[in-house]
Amino acid sequence: MKIARFSVDGLDFHGKVEGDRVRVIKGSIFGDWELSGASYPLAQVKLLPPTRPVNYWGVGENYAKHVNYRLEEMGESFRPRSAAFTPWHKGVGSIIGTGDTIIIPPDADWIEYEGEICVVIGKPCFRVTEAEAPNYILGYTVTNDIGTGPTWAKSDFSLWRVKSCDTFGPVGPWIETDLDPHGVDIIVRVDGKEEDRGNTRDMIHNCFEIVSNISRHITLHPGDIITTGAPGLTRPLKAGEVIEVEIPEIGVLRNPIANLKE
């Protein structure tokens, strides 16, 4: 089942995607809910980021091809970052939905894409095992974990600007609840041309291990999202381009790029 969050006539709803329409959900997607009689054409609603998380977690360096790419780019100073499981907080203020514009900060080297599969937490979890983790996952969505070039990546130990500038967190278009997350393609296209393709079977830490590892120390809350790392390479994006990240079993996350208006 595909669950979207959307806005129509000034109101926000969760809804079940049914073909080219979305049917309003009554109640909480994290608790008791039922389908209402009201549905809207998808073309007439504004899709929103599918949840409003307490925390947005990032897990980087989760595919060997990407780790090697970063080692080549950033040199040996990067190695400690890739040596252990060290997630980070992506600022929740960076989140945007599909269709929203990604803004290039004028002071960055550039911005670059990272197309990823993203875990959506369904129930509070603390200290769950890998085997238990699937019971706490509502589903999966698509993220574009936008970051900047190496100057800030080298100077900002916490990645505060690198990963969390306004608009750096596209999430969407919706949540797929029925998915084996460990064998799907992640495809990145710029202006319709395929730029990168990977498969989640190549993850170093799989989704269940990630949920278990974070929850070993910190509670995950309903609606929290965890982006699980880019599989391959990336490149700088330019204003005017349109970027798509597609996981065929979920959907397409599509965002235009623009410069900051000074």
Rule CB under 8 A: which residues touch its own copies?
54-55, 80-81, 84, 86-94, 105, 107, 126, 155-161, 164-166, 216-219, 221, 224
Pairing assessment for the beta strands 169-176 and 2-8 based on DSSP bridges: antiparallel
| Six token digits for residue 37 | 């009689």
Cβ-based nearer residue to its own copies, 55 or 200:
55
Cα separation, 14 vs 6, in Å, equals 6
Distance of closest approach, residue 89 Cβ to its own copies, in angstroms: 4
Rank residues 195 and 224 by Cβ distance to its own copies and give the closer one: 224
Q: Which is nearer to its own copies, 97 or 198 (CB)?
A: 97
CB 219, min distance to its own copies, A? 5
Q: Are 190 and 172 in contact (CB under 8 A)?
A: no
Nearer to its own copies, 30 or 88 (CB): 88
The rounded distance, in Å, linking the Cα atoms of 82 and 61 is 6
- Helix (H) / strand (E) containing 22: strand 21-27
Q: What are phi and psi of 30, to 5 degrees?
A: -100, 5
- Between vectors from CA 209 to CA 207 and to CA 212, what angle results, nearest 5°? 110
- Minimum distance of its own copies from residue 105's CB (angstroms): 6
- Other Cβ atoms within 10 Å of 198 Cβ, number: 23
Size (the chain), residues = 262
**Least gap, CB of 221 to its own copies (angstroms):** 6
User: Could you give the CA distance from residue 109 to residue 251 in angstroms, rounded to a whole number?
Assistant: 30
What's the closest the beta carbon of residue 111 comes to its own copies, in angstroms?
Answer: 12
- Which of residues 2 and 161 has its CB atom nearest to its own copies in the complex? 161
Beta strand 147-148 pairing with 111-112: antiparallel
Q: Which is nearer to its own copies, 95 or 117 (CB)?
A: 95
The least CB distance from residue 189 to its own copies, in Å, is 28
